[in-house]
Amino acid sequence: MLGWELPPHNSGGLGVACYQMSKALALQGADIDFVVPYRAKHPNINFMKIHSATPLSPLERYGLGTYDSKAVLHKLMTEADAKDLTDMRGVQKRYVQFVEQMVANKTPDAIHAHDWLTMEAGMRAKELSGAPLIVHVHATEFDRSGSELGNPLVHEIEYEGLMMADRIIAVSEITKNIIIQKYGIPESKIEVIYNAIDASEFNDGYVYDGRTYKYLEALKQEGYTIISTVTRFTIQKGLQHFIKAAARASEKYDKLAFLLAGDGEQRDELIALAAEYGISDKVFFTGFVRGKQWRDAYSVSDVFVMSSVSEPFGLTALEAAHHDNALIISRQSGVGEVLHSIFRYDFWDIDRLSDQIVGIAASKTLESALKENIKYEYARLSWTDVAHQCMRIYGLMKSGVAA
Amino acid sequence: MSKQGITLYLHVHQPFRVRQYSVFDTAVNHDYFDEQNWDTDRNNKKVFLKVADKSYRPMNALLEKLLAEHSEFKLSLSITGTFLEQAELWAPDVIESFQRLVATGRVEIVAETYYHSLAFFFSVTEFERQVEAHKQKIRELFGVETNVFRNTELAYNDDLAKWADVYGFKGILAEGWDPILEWRSPNYVYRPAGTTNIALLMKNYKMSDDLAFRFSNRDWSEWPLTADKYSEWANTSIYEQSIINLFMDYETFGEHQWADTGIFDFFETFVGDWLRSDQHTFYTVSGAIDAFEPQGEISMPNTVTWADSERDLTAWLGNNMQNELVRYIYSLEDDIIRTEDLSLIADWRKLQTSDHLYYVCTKWFTDGDVHAYFSPYESPYDAFLFVMNAVRDLRFRLHAYHRTGGLNG
């Protein structure tokens, strides 16, 4: 299994998905060697062997700007310097070399590579070992850049990886369609396997005590509805539209407050936008949140909005549902395909989003119906099912099972 | 015929900077101004002690010496309430040294808002409360009355002059900005348009900024500036005229221009050189107004400040974030005042200090000219969020009094 991050050293949903999937696979008997590009302890992982491709700390790896493809360079693998670990391409080259060594020592039954970050290593491993390559697409460059543009080198790596793959797993129909339409890959090669949520992960004795966001709790006492999102502040997440809808909703309904938990390159722009619309006092910026602050952000919230311009899946929506939120999800977010008791809107449709926000805030009945019903739906999505489907794919590729 | 004189006026100020006050502090901790970390310039005590050593102590010692040596040497000071509070807390000897200066009878204290605020533009009632609070503080510490007014950042317009006239001030200070003066010289006493009794003193910004901004600039064609050269410029500037109004931040001496630039020696020498002629003297701001009749009338319908090449308020009120903050802060006025909670009212007023708005200024940030931008925050956006959270906390505290009305968004 070739990945870029695992909890607790993850910056987003990719790490969580890899962790949950591997854990479920291990329970079903898979013997997994998981490669990450950094060196660190993973205290909760004993069901697989983790290999560190470089001596970087997780923090140094964050500094490479993994999810900000503008910062990712233009160097071809042949031009990259594996000794230069301050350079994203250098780190990727080192990662490839590490994987080359690995497969030389032990031929895997299958190679399961996650996203463009590890596709080059996956292709090289397939070339050297002859093992089947399964490319798992959590996000494409079209999603990350939020536009038709994006980094041409990343596009090319994705194209090659998808072409070379024996089988492709997409996390939603949206992603499958992008792979077909934008990369010209035959539909027959692609399967959709939705991510899931392991709600038992949340049963760690956590009790919401209402103390982290005390001001927001005070507002709730006053009858305010808290609308939140927990995300990276990048173009992909469509947050400018969210702020504009917040302003429009606030014109119609006074008792609204908006919690933007997270950080990212768009933060300053969003702060300025809220000021431009005169709603600075209604919009709360937390900065990057972890641990209790992160969970409490969900808990204090009544309505969770996923405003993404392009979201292959969107695990945070399920996390929010688990913490008793009503969900509003853009049609451009894959998680919406597997949920029904939600509001959907096109990411650019500010009027519709503001209507939905006001609608929920103004009707306690509607709010509790949405919160109740979504609980039955998200609980049906299980990582065990995901692992089953992966095992089936490995089985199709070859007899014997490993990843 | 009165002697030609220099009206030296120095502005003494320190704000209570807001710490990194987050969403998580809001409604929990009310200590917006108490940065614990000693390694940051958001720590008010640290900054105060540093500037006390570099500027307030050595400059006051020099001023005391010059007052003792030259009976003609005089000056005026405006000292904000927020400065005085900090000095009382952390450097009482600095207060005592200012008291000794004032006790000579040749150092005049200029009136202003206690909190170094722009309240005049948002609430005249609150503005007047702060002017009175400052007068009271000056009476308590120095035993003197103030007669001449300066507004924060020298922000001035005709309405302010009319207000000061009616309020009973004999003088008011403003920038001697060319588009206003046109062919006229700042080196005279003027009368503000629409007033009857009050006089206007206008900053000679060329001579002032030679010290305040350019003194140590090695790229300046006149560097190094010697006392000889500056005396020559002063003589040329004042030729057949009355006064040279040198208005600047007190911290020019020792903080903006460090001791090793030679600013202290320069100043001592220049004062001696200037007074060598018995036609020359120094005036306090009141003294200049007493010595000369207004030379004409000056009108400034639009607000002029002493800042930037634009001389306007855009450094404080130039973007949406700044306007949001003042809107939220001043909308709390009535509810805050009627609590009669002195600590809540004081915190609210400390947030009115113009420095907080200045830290949210983006006009240099976007130009990438961060060197022009003095701020203890990583970015104007950070500064904005911290102050915004503090404002929310004020609302939360208000709510405890009124149960309703104060807690918005």
> What pLDDT, in 10s, does the model give residues A177-200?
999 999 999 999 999 999 999 888
Q: A286: which chain B residues are within 8 Å (Cβ-Cβ)?
A: 22-24
| Predicted local distance difference test score (pLDDT) of residue B408 | 59
Using DSSP, state whether A343 is helix, strand or coil: strand
Gap between the Cα atoms of B119 and B329, Å rounded: 10
Q: Domain check: are A228 and A357 in the same one?
A: yes
> Is pLDDT at B325 greater than 90 in this prediction?
yes
Q: A27 in a domain, yes or no?
A: yes
Q: Domain check: are A176 and A276 in the same one?
A: no
What ipTM score was computed for the predicted complex, to two decimals? 0.90
Q: A403 in a domain, yes or no?
A: no
B153 is catalytic: yes
Q: Domain check: are A234 and A368 in the same one?
A: yes
**DSSP structural state of residue A302:** S
Q: Domain check: are A258 and A277 in the same one?
A: yes
Q: C-alpha distances in angstroms, A310 versus A340, A344, A348?
A: 19, 14, 11
Q: Domain check: are A19 and A114 in the same one?
A: yes
> Could B409 and A275 be called an inter-chain contact, meaning their C-beta atoms sit closer than 8 Å?
no
| Predicted local distance difference test score (pLDDT) of residue A402 | 46
Q: Domain check: are A175 and A272 in the same one?
A: no
Q: Domain check: are A289 and A344 in the same one?
A: yes
**Annotated catalytic residue, options B108, B112, B126, B153:** B153
Total-model pTM? 0.90
CA distance B371 to chain A (A): 20
Q: A297 in a domain, yes or no?
A: yes
> Could A218 and B399 be called an inter-chain contact, meaning their C-beta atoms sit closer than 8 Å?
yes
> Could A271 and B385 be called an inter-chain contact, meaning their C-beta atoms sit closer than 8 Å?
yes
Size of interface A-B (CB pairs under 8 A): 68
> Could B320 and A257 be called an inter-chain contact, meaning their C-beta atoms sit closer than 8 Å?
no
> Could A279 and B409 be called an inter-chain contact, meaning their C-beta atoms sit closer than 8 Å?
yes
Q: Domain check: are A19 and A137 in the same one?
A: yes
Q: B409: which chain A residues are within 8 Å (Cβ-Cβ)?
A: 219, 250, 256-257, 279, 281-282
**DSSP structural state of residue A304:** E
Q: C-alpha distances in angstroms, B24 versus A79, A279, B36, B332, B385?
A: 46, 20, 16, 22, 12
Q: Domain check: are A28 and A87 in the same one?
A: yes
> What pLDDT, in 10s, does the model give residues A2-60?
999 999 998 777 898 999 999 999 999 999 999 999 999 999 899 999 999 999 998 88
Q: A83 in a domain, yes or no?
A: yes
| Domain count of the fold of chain A | 2
Q: A295: which chain B residues are within 8 Å (Cβ-Cβ)?
A: none
CA distance B366 to chain A (A): 12
Which residues have a Cβ under 8 Å from the Cβ of A13 and sit 6 or more positions away?
A: A138, A195, A313, A314, A315, A316
The mean pLDDT value of chain A amounts to 92
Q: A68 in a domain, yes or no?
A: yes
Let me know: does A283 contact A246? Beta carbons within 8 Å: yes
Q: A1 in a domain, yes or no?
A: no
CATH of the domain at A74: 3.40.50.2000
Q: A310 in a domain, yes or no?
A: yes
How many residues would you count in chain B?
409
Q: Domain check: are A183 and A216 in the same one?
A: no
List the domain range (segments joined by +) for residue A183: 13-196+382-397
Which residues have a Cβ under 8 Å from the Cβ of B384 and sit 6 or more positions away?
A: A271, A275, A280, B321, B325, B360
Instruction: Pick B381's closest partner by Cβ from A271, A278, A282.
Output: A271
Which residues have a Cβ under 8 Å from the Cβ of A281 and sit 6 or more positions away?
A: B324, B328, B388, B391, B392, B408, B409
Low-confidence ranges of chain A (pLDDT < 50): 399-403
Q: A2 in a domain, yes or no?
A: no
Instruction: Pick B381's closest partner by Cβ from A222, A268, A286.
Output: A268
> What pLDDT, in 10s, does the model give residues B55-79?
999 999 999 999 999 999 999 999 9
Q: Domain check: are A240 and A371 in the same one?
A: yes
Long-range CB contacts (within 8 A, 24+) of A277-280? A277/A243, A277/A244, A277/A246, A277/A247, A278/A247, A278/B320, A278/B324, A278/B327, A279/A243, A279/A246, A279/A247, A279/A250, A279/B409, A280/B321, A280/B324, A280/B325, A280/B328, A280/B384, A280/B388
Instruction: Pick A272's closest partner by Cβ from B320, B392, B393.
Output: B320
Q: Domain check: are A229 and A364 in the same one?
A: yes
